[in-house]
Chain A
Amino acid sequence: MTLTRRSMLAASAAVPLTGLAAPALAQTGPIRIGMITTLSGPGAALGNDIRDGFNLVVKNASGRLGGLPVEVVIADDGLRPENGRAIAERMVRRDRIQVLTGIVFSNVMLAVAPVVLPAATYISANAGPSQLAGEGCNANYFNVAWQNDNLHEAVGQYVTQQNKQRAYILAPNYPAGRDALTGFKRFFKGEVIAEQYTRLDQLDYAAELAAIRNANPEAVYIFLPGGLGINFIKQYAAAGLRGRVPLYGPGFSFDQDVLPAVGEDALGCFNSSQWALDLPVPANRQFVDTFEREYGRLPSLYASQGYDAALLIGSAIAATRGRVGDRAAFAAALKRADFQSVRGQFRFGNNNHPIQTIYMREVVKDERGRIVNRTIGTAFQDHQDAYASQCKLA
């Protein structure tokens, strides 16, 4: 085989990531994976964790996924749908990237989907809007995390079991926020005394807290990811509501991106997640250990999703021997979900969304004085989303 100038360039470009360029691949260079995610603003910590979780897998395998060298191209959408769309256009059209992942927020996801899905495969490591799970499901769109409603459904059921009758529920006004409260109401059998939507960039909840006190509910349910949750939980305590009205949420408001900043104000809050720090799964122990060693902090559920997304993509790269451009074959390989998820059991339903177990967790102080979640039980076993039956995929 003669090494052309072009292939030599490609091979040398791959060296820093791979350590050793695979000769068979020297003619194409590494497989490029586009990661559009949120790295600035109040949602920055989420994208940060997804990216770090994803990169950890690549790093552990010396720059490879599925045995082949990859290059992860990362861009910040700033939580603006317009930005996400422009980045997606650039990645798909100019850079001809065929595998994309990373979007945190559902409004960005919905703006990007029409640009990406006709030309590439998208593996969501977070956003799971209902619009892409039901009738609008797509053979080239996979969600490795959950459908938006899932974690909220679990808490809805849990709050009902706790015999709380009157709930005040609150979420940001964007697709995932609306999905969240829909999910909660689907399994909550008591009375929703107020359903409040806030701005996605809102950080001061004084007006809402005054209204909550005035309404005097038995339970407050919030879906406020990242920085939104940090502020709400702190302000909830400062307004004297902590200890008076129990606060519930999905794992998004009570995970390792939020807890260190909130501190003891979050103690005793119950939340749901498809993953937990203390899940007794070997793959999870390895993930938590290597993550902490690499980044010096505990991983969040977002990090676990980024990690699983990388493992899933790796499994499909291995199965197709790197022919990610053969979209039918690549999608079929993804659908087999032939990887060791940090959650243990994992499989896809017909609509390319997970069928999985959802756990309930409680925020506690561990023996080292850190504020963490402890798994207290299982909310759903093999849970599938409510939209799957509307999806025509097999």
Chain B
Amino acid sequence: MDSLLLLEQTLNGLTLGVMLFLMAAGLTLIFGVMDVINLAHGSLYMLGAFAGATVTARTGSFALGVLAGVAASALIALLLELTLIRRLYARDHLDQVLVTYAVILIANESVKIVWGPQPIFLGTPEALAGSVEIIPGVPYPAYRLAIIGAGILAAAFLWWLIARTRLGMLIRAGTTHRAIVQALGVNIQVLFALVFAIGGALAGLAGMMAGPLLAVQVGMGEQILILTFVVVVVGGLGSVRGAMAGALLVGLVDTLSRAVLPTVLRGMMEPSAADQVAANLGAVAVYLLMALILAIRPQGLFPRHA
């Protein structure tokens, strides 16, 4: 494989990495601060995409669609926290898994009723429809570059939020010394609700950005959810930095292994068999990576100091 192709595939890996980071950042914060394992995070991603797609279709503006997607997911996350998740803080992880699994079932079926079972194919916004020559002779889709840009902005915002604001200080304290934060008289209920809403907003952003690349459809959340969990575990539960590192690592390993393996296997077997083996071994590579990292660092790349 030549270097230009490798560069392009690396960018593809970064796009996936950015999506995973947006998902994983919320999930890991929710876990870090509240000790809750939230399977319904993928549903927030899906709901954001559907809300955003609807607004985009009504107004014709993709930017408004993104705003609507983010707002809708944040709001739904907030409602979810107030009505259900709140009851789970004192419960064990099994109960959390089951209740949020039930939320997935309800969300998927509700979306099917409201929007129908057919996927929505969202167009790329007009301004980002074409391609940009990253190096002379190598055009790359502008929309994908925009996703990577948006991911960097979101990461910077999160860093500012966590490192520079009072809310961020509480979040940091919450992930490491939960009892002390509570003892200091901080209104922990409000903090929890806010963190959940922030996680929802990030998931909605990811869902809406994925819309034009994939399709807005029922079940889209579960496809990314499992990879997101891998990212969170690899990065270290509760660590946003870890989520960043894990997301980029998983995104690159997934994309590059899928790009390299077929060419390696082509010589050995017929094309359909080679592609079948390659596509699935590419997926295995991600889980292998997770097992290896956990074998070396059981708490992930960036363990929190408990």
- Residues 229-240 of A, flagged 1 when their CB comes within 8 A of B and 0 if not, give 011001101111
Complex interface residues of chain A between 19 and 63 (CB less than 8 A to chain B): 39-42, 44-45, 48
B9 located at the interface, meaning its Cβ lies under 8 Å from any Cβ of chain A in the complex: yes
* A128 CB, nearest partner CB in chain B, Å: 18
Closest chain B residue to A261, Cβ basis:
B121
Q: Is the CB of A197 within 8 A of B275?
A: yes
A160 located at the interface, meaning its Cβ lies under 8 Å from any Cβ of chain B in the complex: no
* A84 CB, nearest partner CB in chain B, Å: 16
Q: Which of A41, A197, A238 contacts B143 (CB 8 A)?
A: A238
* B224 CB, nearest partner CB in chain A, Å: 12
- A263–B217 alpha-carbon span in the complex (Å): 20
Contacts of B144 in A (CB 8 A): 206
Q: Is the CB of A240 within 8 A of B130?
A: yes
- A230–B144 alpha-carbon span in the complex (Å): 17
Q: Is the CB of A48 within 8 A of B118?
A: yes
Closest chain A residue to B279, Cβ basis:
A199
Q: Is the CB of B130 within 8 A of A238?
A: yes
Q: Which of A39, A173, A211, A240 contacts B117 (CB 8 A)?
A: A39
Count residues of chain B with CB under 8 A from any CB of chain A: 40
Closest chain B residue to A48, Cβ basis:
B118
A178 located at the interface, meaning its Cβ lies under 8 Å from any Cβ of chain B in the complex: yes
Contacts of A261 in B (CB 8 A): 121, 123
A1 located at the interface, meaning its Cβ lies under 8 Å from any Cβ of chain B in the complex: no
Q: Which of A76, A196, A231, A234 contacts B275 (CB 8 A)?
A: A196
Q: Which of A39, A177, A227, A238 has the most CB of B within 10 A?
A: A238
* B146 CB, nearest partner CB in chain A, Å: 11
Contacts of A238 in B (CB 8 A): 124, 129-131, 141-143
Closest chain B residue to A178, Cβ basis:
B272
- A206–B15 alpha-carbon span in the complex (Å): 10
Contacts of A207 in B (CB 8 A): 9, 12, 255, 258-259
* A63 CB, nearest partner CB in chain B, Å: 25
Contacts of A231 in B (CB 8 A): 121, 213-215
- A339–B8 alpha-carbon span in the complex (Å): 54
- Residues 239-258 of B, flagged 1 when their CB comes within 8 A of A and 0 if not, give 00000000000000001001
Contacts of B262 in A (CB 8 A): 196
Closest chain A residue to B1, Cβ basis:
A214
Question: Can you report 21 A-B residue pairs in the complex whose CB atoms are below 8 A from each other?
Answer: A39-B118, A40-B112, A40-B218, A194-B271, A196-B271, A197-B271, A203-B213, A204-B214, A206-B12, A207-B9, A210-B5, A210-B259, A214-B2, A214-B4, A231-B121, A234-B124, A238-B141, A238-B143, A239-B131, A240-B131, A240-B139
* Besides A198-B275, A204-B214, A238-B124, 15 other A-B contacts (C-beta < 8 A): A39-B118, A41-B219, A42-B217, A44-B119, A195-B272, A196-B275, A198-B279, A204-B213, A206-B15, A210-B5, A211-B5, A213-B8, A213-B138, A239-B139, A240-B139
Partner-B contacts on A (CB < 8 A): 39-42, 44-45, 48, 76, 173, 177-178, 194-199, 203-204, 206-207, 210-211, 213-214, 227, 230-231, 234-235, 237-240, 261, 263
